Amino acid sequence: MSTIKAIALASFGAFCLSACGGTDVSGVASTPTSTTSTSTTPPTAVTPAAAPTVTLTSSSATLTAGASVTLMWSTTNASACVASGAWTGTEGTAGSLSKALATAGSSTFTLSCSGAGGSAAASTTVTVASAPAATFSAAPTALTFGSQTTGTASAAQAVTLTYAGATALTNVVVSISGDFAQSTTCAASLAAAATCTVNVTFKPTTTGNRTGTLTVASSFSGGSLAVALSGTGATAIASMPVALASPTSLLFASQAVGSLSTSQVVTLKNTGNAALANIAVSVSGDFNETNTCATSLAAAASCAITVAFRPTATGQRTGALTIASNYSGSPSTVALSGSGVTTSVTSAMKLISGGLPIYASSAQYPATDANDADYNTAWRSVGVPATLALDLSSVPTAQRQQIWLVWYNDDTYGYDHAAIGQPGYNNPGAYTVEANAAPGGGAAPSTGWVQLASLTANTLDSYSYLLSFAGYQWVRLNFTAVDGSAGNTDIAINLDVYSAPNGVTDGWFFNGDSITANCMRHTNVDGQDQSDPTTNITLTSPSFGQQVDTLVGDQPEEEDGGIPGFNSGNMLPYLAGWLTHIPAKYVTINLGTNDAAGVAPAIYYSNMQQLVEAVIAVGKTPIIPTIPFSVDPTHQANEPALNAQLQALYKAYPAIVPGPDLYSYFKANPQYISADGLHPNAQGCVEYRALWAQFAATTIYGH
């Protein structure tokens, strides 16, 4: 090799060592020598392309044949995708697709994608179940119309067609044969899950047994549906009114002479096919009546005759309700009977504490608020201990030899708030009742107090005591504990004292549910506004006792024993125990509204019977009103049967005094029922309280 060629090769080798990856022309790695001073820039590194990824999911892992599944996929580093398995074709690198699956079994969907860095695939499997067999049915499968006058159409009876299938039912045709006619809501096709109705009437063309068939043809693979139809054609009856009075007799509970009983209703119905005319209703004996019957009554119509009993003498009293009209057999009578008894109470016991000097050891609200004429104000202490002392020295001695003391805390909701898990509000928790013989006319004495009664662990919102008081001038409540809640740890009460020289001969304990608890407090009524049910309103309403005082001249004692949410069964464990410390003579049992939510009539009777017997056992008089009418459909449907049980109780226990007819009153005045369909609204509570006061004045006090 020539020198020039060697130099050239050497130069090329040095160049290629640098630029061609560090080997000489022979392909052998070269090691730079110290004599070489050539400087070169390193080559740029080449990053390998990233491998693609594929994610494939389905909207459901299982479905029924004929339904669709949605496939959703996404990729990275992919430029092309191909579907295989249960789907085919080229797909984008991301997307979704809905696919109907008609065949039962497993369907696997695969998506393979490729890119510069290679390829990847993902699969998802959907299990397809066979679609249920289609069904098409008619209910009922037969209709019986009974007897029908020839040439007249019966009331309609309904047949319901029900279709369930994967696809719509088509070519639906309804036809009927015989003396029957039909109208239908069924269209020519029914959706995959649908119902429709066929109404059938019977119009016999002749007398005797008549039959026919309702037929429904369609595309249903099971064939047509058939409903058997039958009825009897009857000879036309001559036009004639028929009067039916129900019940045929009325028995009234024992009633005080001169007082008016709770009313009972006789229903007059025209069961004939022509109008009753010239209707005349009359009554004899110690009874009176009012009615909604006009002088005529159309066929199938009815009217109400309301009868009440006001005995003029003691003993058995009888009479008759007579109904005359143009019907065959007129007139008809309803037997009436009841017993007159001597009025047991002629006047309420005398309230002697109103406005007397009263003194408290501490007061956020003054002691005089406890015994003024306004129950909406109350004395409130500053915590405990606290005392409230009443000076009775100005009351004639004969009127305070024995006294009846009662306190009320109307802020606490429910007679025993612990029974319903509610808190007390400034309610007395523990105290002693004390008397003092010191002269009155000045400040309360600090010494010489004698304990007459005591109470601990109290959760009741009122309590009363019959106390022997001979020789004493003062009575004091000495509070040592509060039954309260956060922010309500004082004592807040009203206080009444009655003269009781002959013991307790009067007084009311209103036992009941939330209607009683809401409406029979001593304070003004607070409740839903009749004219705007979205708001509450406070209405001025004197207490029951104050309203009776207006009517008869004396104010009876009263305690509100209502427990919200209680029915007759809930009350059983409580009432007998309460009656051991309640001196009041009259115990109302105002229960039934909550029972009407579903308590069986026989159970209701048994519960009420036990409550009545508990009252009678301690020598008190049970007073039971009818259950108030409700707008709520469930209660409204059940209340008549429960009220019938009360009528049976009245007859079984003559000691019961039937209370106000709350059912009839609120049925006639539904505007007084709140939006919940059960409770009286504010205006209704005012009426409820007034009904009780009027009842007491008339029935108990003989005014």
Here the CATH number for the domain that contains residue 447 is: 2.60.120.260
Same domain assignment for residues 267 and 223: no
Residue 42's pLDDT band (cuts 50, 70, 90): low
Q: Quick one: average pLDDT of 313-320?
A: 90
Query: Do 262 and 661 meet the contact criterion of CB atoms below 8 Å apart?
Result: yes
Integer CA distances (angstroms), 576 to 104, 165, 580, in order: 70, 62, 7
Final residue before a domain boundary, out of 234, 266, 284: 234
Q: Which of 98-102, 467-471, 474-478 has the lowest mean pLDDT?
A: 98-102
Residue 227's pLDDT band (cuts 50, 70, 90): very high
Residue 204's pLDDT band (cuts 50, 70, 90): very high
Q: Give the three-class secondary structure for 375.
A: coil
Sign of CA pseudo-dihedral 260, 262, 263, 264: negative
Same domain assignment for residues 494 and 516: no
Residue 484 structural domain: 358-499
Average per-residue pLDDT in the chain?
90
Residue 102 lies in a domain: no
Between CA 198 and CA 196 the distance in angstroms is 7
Strands (E) in 409-524, as ranges, are: 427-436, 450-455, 462-468, 474-483, 492-499, 508-512
Residue 78 lies in a domain: no
Give per-residue pLDDT as tens, 112-135.
Answer: 999 999 999 999 999 988 777 889
CATH number of the domain that 270 lies in? 2.60.40.10
Domains identified in the chain, total number: 4
Residue 582 lies in a domain: yes
For the purposes of burial, counting CB atoms within 10 Å of the CB of 98, is it exposed (0-12), middle (13-18) or buried (19 or more)? Answer: exposed
Residue 9 lies in a domain: no
Whole-number pLDDT of residue 635: 97
pLDDT above 90: percentage of residues in the chain: 80
Side-chain-side CA neighbours of 655 within 13 Å: the count stands at 17
Residue 43's pLDDT band (cuts 50, 70, 90): low
* pTM summary value: 0.57
Same domain assignment for residues 215 and 266: no
Query: Do 210 and 202 meet the contact criterion of CB atoms below 8 Å apart?
Result: yes
Same domain assignment for residues 535 and 487: no
Final residue before a domain boundary, out of 474, 499, 524: 499
Between CA 79 and CA 76 the distance in angstroms is 9
Same domain assignment for residues 616 and 642: yes
- 373 pLDDT exceeds 50? yes
416 has which bridge partners? 460
Between CA 347 and CA 655 the distance in angstroms is 20
- 312 pLDDT exceeds 90? no
Final residue before a domain boundary, out of 208, 234, 260: 234
Whole-number pLDDT of residue 215: 96
Same domain assignment for residues 207 and 260: no
In sequence order, the 6+-apart residues with CB closer than 8 A to the CB of 656 are 253, 612, 622, 623, 624, 649, 650
The gap between the terminal CA atoms of the chain, to the nearest Å, is: 154
Residue 99 lies in a domain: no
Query: Do 479 and 362 meet the contact criterion of CB atoms below 8 Å apart?
Result: no
- The string of DSSP codes covering 263-276 is PEEEEEEE-SSS-B
What secondary structure letter does DSSP report for 681?
A: -
| Cα R_g (the chain), whole angstroms | 46
Query: Do 373 and 381 meet the contact criterion of CB atoms below 8 Å apart?
Result: no
Residue 261 lies in a domain: yes
319 has which bridge partners? 336
Q: Give the three-class secondary structure for 463.
A: strand
Same domain assignment for residues 373 and 421: yes
Whole-number pLDDT of residue 235: 85
337 has which bridge partners? 251, 318
Residue 333 lies in a domain: yes
Residue 204 lies in a domain: yes
Same domain assignment for residues 454 and 486: yes
Among 483, 507, 504, 487, residue whose Cα is nearest residue 414: 483
Residue 13's pLDDT band (cuts 50, 70, 90): very low
Residue 566's pLDDT band (cuts 50, 70, 90): very high
Same domain assignment for residues 530 and 662: yes
For the purposes of burial, counting CB atoms within 10 Å of the CB of 76, is it exposed (0-12), middle (13-18) or buried (19 or more)? Answer: middle
Q: Quick one: average pLDDT of 571-590?
A: 96
Q: Kindly report the CA angle at 360 between 358 and 366, in degrees rounded to 5?
A: 80
Same domain assignment for residues 593 and 692: yes
CATH number of the domain that 570 lies in? 3.40.50.1110
Same domain assignment for residues 256 and 227: no
Same domain assignment for residues 327 and 374: no
Instruction: Please name the amino acid found at residue 198.
Output: V
Residue 267's pLDDT band (cuts 50, 70, 90): very high
E strand or H helix that includes residue 692: helix 682-695
Q: Quick one: average pLDDT of 345-364?
A: 89
